[in-house]
């Protein structure tokens, strides 16, 4: 992050922004501060409000209420074409009747940039996305990935202090997507512009972002770095949406600083307790879970009986799906080659109480996951 | 499926017959226009250019030809502007009322010309529009409007409105967006609409017969009155000229539509 030439990005402030369609609240009092030059990803399932937030920032949608500042100035009521914000769309939205060069020159022409200066900046923008050789082609002659790079060049050529990207890699295949993610990261580093990126792909969010805002049902569940979201999820929804996870539910009992869950006659304990009340559930990451043959001695750890439902060899280790006595499923990742299990094996699921993330149960967390 | 040679020959012959049957009545006028005698007999006798000469020198013919040209040109422009605006409005309305309005605007294509003509004539008598340029232009625009509406609507259906959003994000206001993005992309539809509108007005006869008077005749009216008064072969010469012109116009329109369709990825 220290390679940025200069901090030319704008800060974005959303203050209790709401958007209602009739009685449906697409956005419910969303507040979000984005630092200048930051790469902020809005992550969430479809219909969670992330794209609506982007549209409100871009000026394509008017918020029903709330304040929106770009670079410290309110842009509420300012039409999209006067906001000077670059936007990259999922479906490229290149003008089919113009060549690549003319597409990229379009925002410059509107700003009165002419002649050699315009050509220089078009060239520079196309160089940055490595499409300079295609200036005379028409969009229909390009592949999806190439079109999206041209769209990116068109969105940055006029040096906007803020670039919005709405699932820009959504229509591309996995290999191309991974390569373009790194390209976007590089361009962000070189430009120093504030990037706001919308995606439903948590891996993509982790690869790209300085910080991630996790959206659910028109609100933000948590804002933080990828590490913070993975290690310290604030809600069950975030814990389940970022990374693989196992959720244990049972009869809860609290004593002192300890919380115990009774699951089908077995009890598991953690040295944590829920601060704000609510029904506690335990969330465990796959790498914090271990498997042992049924009955093998291992003191000091929590133990739950289960049966291997699925065993997947990953090369770097194995992934197991274990069906517990209450019918719920646990996901275990093991790098121990010495120990391997087959489908149907009776096993014990082992984990330490300190590796448990204790979260309040939330029935919303299940409904929105697909 | 592989076709037997015999089947192929029979199929070809049948197609040829149908084609001749469709085109022959039109093509009959071509040889008749070179007839030496003052009769519309077929087959014609001898060869002469005199009927073409008559068309270009007789003020009855030249003035009606110029009238038609004038009316059709104004109608083409007017119908294109109105039809494009209508297509835009309908494209951006809610589906149900838009469909109702679209049907309404397409009725001139369905309603029998005579019925329309009677209605227009009745109104024109009161409004003193019979035999006026305004009268012809208004009546023909009604008839030409559906063609523009259909052509432009077809273009708008495949037009990606997200391009307008993209243009806005790049700094283009509504008018600039229309001029630089929307208009160039629906221009082929507008042009073919324009051609169809011109052709519709230029060869319109039914309504024209009702609203004409001796001071303002369009070419089809002049042809009709000429052929009912005396069998003047000039009619055949005009027919030949019209045939060529219309073929060029409609052919051009088809080409534009076809190229537009191919141009889409």
Give, to the nearest 10 degrees, the angle between helix B59-91 and helix B50-57: 70
Mean pLDDT of the region B132-141: 94
As a whole number of angstroms, the distance between CA A153 and CA B236 comes to 62
- Closest residue in A to B159 (Cα) is A96
Residue-wise pLDDT tens digits, B41-64:
778 788 888 889 888 999 989 999
Choose from A58, A59, A80, A108 for mutation: most chain B CBs within 10 A: A80
Q: Are A105 and A125 in contact (CB under 8 A)?
A: no
Peptide bond into B43 cis (omega under 30): yes
What would the two tokens of residue B57 be?
């020198």
Cα–Cα distance for residue pair A268/A325, rounded to 1 Å: 13
Dump pLDDT digits (tens) for A20-44. Answer: 998 899 999 999 999 999 999 999 9
Nearest CA in chain A to B174: A81
Confidence category of residue B29, pLDDT binned at 50, 70, 90: confident
Q: Tell me: the pLDDT tens digits for A275-294?
A: 777 788 899 999 889 888 88
Residue B176 in contact with partner chain A when CB distance is under 8 A? yes
Nearest CA in chain B to A81: B171
Distance from C-alpha of A211 to C-alpha of B92, rounded to nearest angstrom: 39
Average pLDDT, chain A: 89
pTM (whole model) above 0.95 = no
ipTM confidence score = 0.83
Q: CA A274, A276, A278 angle in degrees (round to 5)?
A: 75
Class of domain B50-263: mainly alpha
- Domains annotated for chain A, with CATH where assigned, are 12-240 (3.40.50.300), 244-367 (2.40.50.100)
Give me the residue spans of the domains in chain B: 50-263
Tell me which chain B residues have a C-beta less than 8 angstroms from the C-beta of A62. Answer: none
Lowest-confidence range among A131-140, A297-306, B236-245?
Answer: A297-306
Q: Say if residue A161's pLDDT is above 80.
A: yes
Residue of A96 and A250 predicted with greater confidence? A96
pLDDT-based confidence at residue A205 (cuts at 50, 70, 90): very high
Q: Which chain A residue has the Cα nearest residue B172?
A: A81
Beta strands in A108-207 (DSSP E): 162-166, 194-199
Q: With a CB-CB cutoff of 8 Å, which residues 24-83 of chain B face chain A?
A: none
Of B169, B173, B265, the CB nearest to A58: B169
Task: Tell me what pLDDT residue A19 has.
Answer: 94
Convert the pLDDT of each residue in A254-275 to its tens digit.
887 888 888 877 888 888 878 7
CA distance A8 to chain B (A): 18
């Amino acid at each position: 992050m220290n390679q940025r030439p200069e901090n030319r990005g704008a800060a974005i402030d959303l203050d209790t922004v709401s958007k209602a369609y009739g009685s449906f609240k697409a956005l419910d009092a969303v507040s979000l501060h984005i630092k200048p030059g930051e790469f902020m990803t809005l992550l969430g399932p479809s219909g969670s409000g992330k794209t609506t937030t982007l549209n409100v920032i871009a000026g394509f949608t008017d918020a029903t209420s709330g304040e929106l500042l770009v670079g410290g100035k309110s842009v509420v009521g300012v039409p999209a074409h006067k906001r000077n914000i670059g936007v990259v769309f999922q479906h490229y939205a290149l003008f089919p009747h113009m060549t690549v060069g003319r597409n990229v020159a379009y925002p410059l022409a509107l700003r009165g940039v002419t002649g050699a200066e315009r050509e220089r900046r078009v060239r520079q923008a196309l160089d940055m996305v490595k499409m300079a050789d295609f200036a005379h082609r028409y969009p229909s002659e390009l592949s999806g990935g190439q079109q999206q790079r041209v769209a990116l060049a068109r969105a940055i050529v006029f040096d906007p202090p803020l670039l919005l990207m709405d699932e820009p890699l959504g229509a591309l295949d996995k290999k191309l997507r991974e390569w373009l993610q790194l390209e976007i990261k590089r361009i962000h580093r070189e430009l120093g512009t504030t990037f706001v990126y919308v995606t439903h792909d948590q891996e993509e969010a982790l690869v790209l972002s300085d910080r991630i805002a996790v959206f659910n049902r028109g609100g933000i569940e948590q804002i933080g770095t990828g590490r913070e979201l993975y290690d310290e999820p604030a809600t069950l929804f975030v814990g389940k949406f970022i990374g693989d996870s196992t959720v244990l539910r049972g009869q809860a009992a609290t004593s002192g600083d300890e919380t115990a869950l009774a699951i089908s006659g077995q009890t598991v304990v953690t040295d944590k307790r829920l601060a704000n009340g609510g029904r506690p559930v335990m969330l465990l990451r796959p790498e914090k879970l271990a498997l042992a043959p049924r009955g093998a001695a291992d003191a000091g750890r929590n133990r739950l009986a289960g049966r291997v439902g699925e065993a997947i060899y990953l090369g770097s280790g194995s992934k197991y799906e274990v069906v517990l006595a209450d019918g719920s499923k646990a996901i275990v990742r093991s790098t121990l080659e010495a120990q391997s299990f087959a489908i149907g094996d009776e096993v014990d699921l082992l984990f330490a109480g300190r590796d448990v993330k204790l979260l309040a149960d939330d029935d919303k967390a299940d409904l929105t996951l697909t | 499926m592989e076709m037997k040679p015999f089947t192929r020959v029979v199929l070809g012959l049948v197609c040829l017959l149908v084609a001749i049957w469709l085109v022959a009545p039109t093509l009959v006028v071509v040889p008749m226009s070179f007839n030496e005698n003052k009769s519309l007999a077929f087959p014609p006798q001898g060869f002469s250019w005199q009927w073409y000469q008559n068309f270009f020198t007789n003020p009855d013919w030249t003035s009606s030809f110029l009238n038609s040209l004038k009316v059709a040109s104004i109608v083409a422009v007017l119908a294109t502007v109105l039809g494009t605006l209508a297509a835009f409005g309908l494209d951006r309305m809610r589906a149900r009322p838009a469909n109702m309005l679209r049907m309404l605007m397409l009725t001139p294509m369905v309603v029998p010309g005579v019925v329309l003509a009677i209605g227009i004539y009745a109104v024109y008598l009161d409004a003193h529009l019979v035999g006026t340029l305004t009268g012809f232009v208004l009546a023909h625009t009604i008839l030409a409007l559906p063609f523009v509406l259909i052509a432009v609507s077809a273009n708008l259906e495949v037009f990606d409105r997200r391009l307008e959003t993209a243009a806005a994000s790049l700094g283009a206001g509504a008018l600039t967006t229309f001029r630089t993005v929307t208009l160039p992309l629906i221009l082929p539809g507008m042009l073919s609409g324009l051609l169809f509108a011109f052709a519709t007005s230029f060869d319109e006869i039914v309504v024209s017969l009702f609203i004409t008077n001796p001071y303002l005749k369009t070419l089809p009216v002049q042809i009709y009155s000429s052929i009912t008064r005396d069998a003047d072969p000039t009619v055949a010469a005009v027919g030949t000229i019209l045939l060529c012109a219309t073929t060029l116009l409609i052919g051009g329109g088809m080409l534009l539509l076809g190229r537009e369709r191919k141009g889409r990825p």
